[in-house]
Amino acid sequence: MSDVTGTDASIDDSVEAAVEAEPTEEVAPDPHALDAAHEELVARFETELGEAVLDRANVFGMPVLRLRRVDWRAAAEVAKGALDCDFLSFVSGIDWMPAPKEGGDDASGDTSSPVQPTETTYGAAGSEGRFQVFARVQSTSRHWGITFKADVDDESMLVQSWVPVYAGADWHERECWEMFGFVFDGHPALRHLYLPSEFEGHPLRKDYPLLSRVVKPWPGLVDVEPMPGEGDTDSASGEAAPAAEEGASA
């Protein structure tokens, strides 16, 4: 008589071994996850000025913190003093408003801003309004960095200057004032950097009229002119127009 129990046990062992041998699906690593150093960086900032943080996000391993507007300069002081971020990469601004189309929203033939969205969208860590100031600082010794951003009031356009903390913010803030209209409180001398002193308006605001785009649409989106030899037809008959005879007087 055969040992049925032993056979069943062997089958169960074989099935279990086959299940264990099946390859498991690998989970792709999160490209936005922070490494240990940047986790420490954010933790140290929150220890010093955690009440200032409104929201945060990670972008390809780099932390982005949205701060209260009143804590903008304090963030620079903490970054330089407590986080060892001795290098200012940039100070800049952004206008989240979609660029208006010439002739209105239904101007399907307009090519003044072909790549702009039609609805307001906000980037990492969000926004509560149209304008934001943002800056990035880094540490040359610890090899870490952090990006700060803060909402700018649409009416006052007032932002605290970082020049008393990072002297290199001088030109960055002048450019931002010139292009967006942000007024940096505490800046030693806000004056034009690129544009003539009598220039009016702020060219990087989305509602600034780019007259050059009205006169000539974006390259690549215009009607292609006919090649030489094409289009030389008689408009009445549709037949090719006769070539000028040799020797004809000018």
Residue 214 pLDDT exceeds 60: no
Task: Dump pLDDT digits (tens) for 39-90.
Answer: 999 999 999 999 999 999 999 999 999 999 999 999 999 999 999 999 999 9
Structural domains of the chain, ranges and CATH numbers in brackets? 29-106+116-215 (3.30.460.80)
Task: Dump pLDDT digits (tens) for 161-206.
Answer: 999 999 999 999 999 999 999 999 999 999 999 999 889 899 999 8
pTM listed for this prediction: 0.71
SS (H, E, C) 175-237: HHHHHHCCEEECCCCCCCCCCCCCCCCCCCCCCCCCHHHHHCCCCCCCCCCCCCCCCCECCCC
